[in-house]
């Protein structure tokens, strides 16, 4: 990994730390923005044409987060936020498919876990049909993008970092589902650290890719 890129990775790490400590919202936004800049400056040339899907995913996530934060103004913003994060996952998926393929076995294992979770836990807890459909399709795209990350044709280290990064995002979303729909928030404090770790690990994977 380029030593300058490694040093710059401290920037999103510092932003994430300050955001988790409750400092200004700018530190929260600083994580995806700084990760986007690092990816753009220190990417591997072999995947240069597809990395912009990752940059787009980072930037779209800012809009998704804003919608979720301001959902008190308009209840539909929660659904808009899910839609923007859906687009973010689609960008991850496109990148993975252009640099690998979906690992079908891993996808099957994910669906074995998450489909029963949706049917038995989330369906009874979400009376709004539009929200329920949105959550279902978001759950599916999350599983597919994670399975695609597992099938990346990058170096072992990069593939591992990228897969763990997407896994952190799925874990973060799962914590949100527990809190918002099942009213279980005992581990919700891990949500933002997992979300930040996702973008930082993905960035590290891309600048490490060979």
For residue range 2-20, list pLDDT tens digits in order.
667 778 899 999 999 999 9
Q: Compute CA distances 80 → 5, 25, 36, 71, whole Å.
A: 34, 20, 23, 9
b/e map of 9-38 (b: 16 or more CB within 10 Å)? Answer: bebbeebbebbeeeeeeebbbbbbbbbbbb
| Alpha-helical segments (H) within the chain | 3-8, 10-20, 25-41, 52-69, 76-98, 104-117, 123-125, 129-150, 156-181, 191-208
Is a pLDDT exceeding 70 seen at residue 120?
yes
pLDDT of residue 148: 98
Q: Rounded to whole angstroms, how far apart are CA atoms 9 and 32?
A: 11
Q: What is the mean pLDDT of the chain?
A: 93
pLDDT tens across 53-64, in order? 999 999 999 999
Question: Phi and psi at residue 184, in whole multiples of 5°?
Answer: -115, 105
> Tens of pLDDT along 20-60?
999 999 999 999 999 999 988 876 666 777 889 999 999 99
pLDDT value at residue 34: 96
Q: ∠ at Cα 68 (163, 95), nearest 5°?
A: 30
Which residues is 152 bridged to in the sheet?
100
- From the number of C-beta atoms within 10 Å of its C-beta (0-12, 13-18, 19+), residue 192 rates as middle
* Six token digits for residue 119: 């049917």
Per residue in 195-205, pLDDT tens? 999 999 999 99
Between CA 118 and CA 25 the distance in angstroms is 32
Hey, what's the torsion of the CAs at 5, 7, 11, 16, to 10 degrees? 100
For 167, the token pair is: 């896994």
Percent of the chain predicted with pLDDT > 90? 84
What pLDDT, on the 0 to 100 scale, is given for residue 72? 80
Which secondary-structure segment (H or E) carries 57? helix 52-69
Model pTM score: 0.94
Mean pLDDT of 76-86: 96
Residue 137 phi/psi, 5° resolution?
Answer: -70, -30
Please, which pLDDT band fits residue 91 given cuts at 50, 70 and 90? very high
């Amino acid at each position: 990994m380029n030593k300058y890129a490694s040093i710059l990775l401290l920037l999103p790490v510092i932003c994430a730390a300050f955001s988790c400590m409750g400092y200004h919202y700018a530190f929260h936004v600083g994580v995806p923005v700084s990760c986007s800049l690092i990816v753009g400056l220190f990417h591997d040339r072999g995947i240069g044409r597809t990395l912009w899907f990752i940059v787009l995913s980072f930037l779209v996530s800012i809009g998704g987060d804003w919608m979720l934060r301001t959902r008190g103004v308009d209840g539909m913003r929660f659904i808009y936020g899910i839609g923007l994060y859906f687009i973010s996952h689609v960008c991850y998926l496109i990148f993975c498919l252009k640099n690998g393929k979906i690992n079908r076995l891993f996808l099957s294992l994910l669906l074995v876990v998450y489909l029963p979770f949706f049917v038995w836990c989330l369906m009874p807890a979400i009376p709004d049909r539009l929200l329920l459909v949105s959550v279902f399709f978001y759950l599916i795209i999350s599983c597919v993008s994670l399975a695609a990350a597992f099938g990346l044709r990058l170096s072992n280290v990069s593939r591992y970092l990228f897969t763990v990064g997407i896994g952190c995002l799925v874990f973060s979303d799962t914590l949100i589902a527990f809190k918002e729909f099942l009213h279980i928030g005992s581990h919700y404090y891990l949500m933002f650290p997992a979300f930040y770790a996702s973008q930082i690990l993905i960035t590290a994977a891309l600048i490490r890719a060979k």
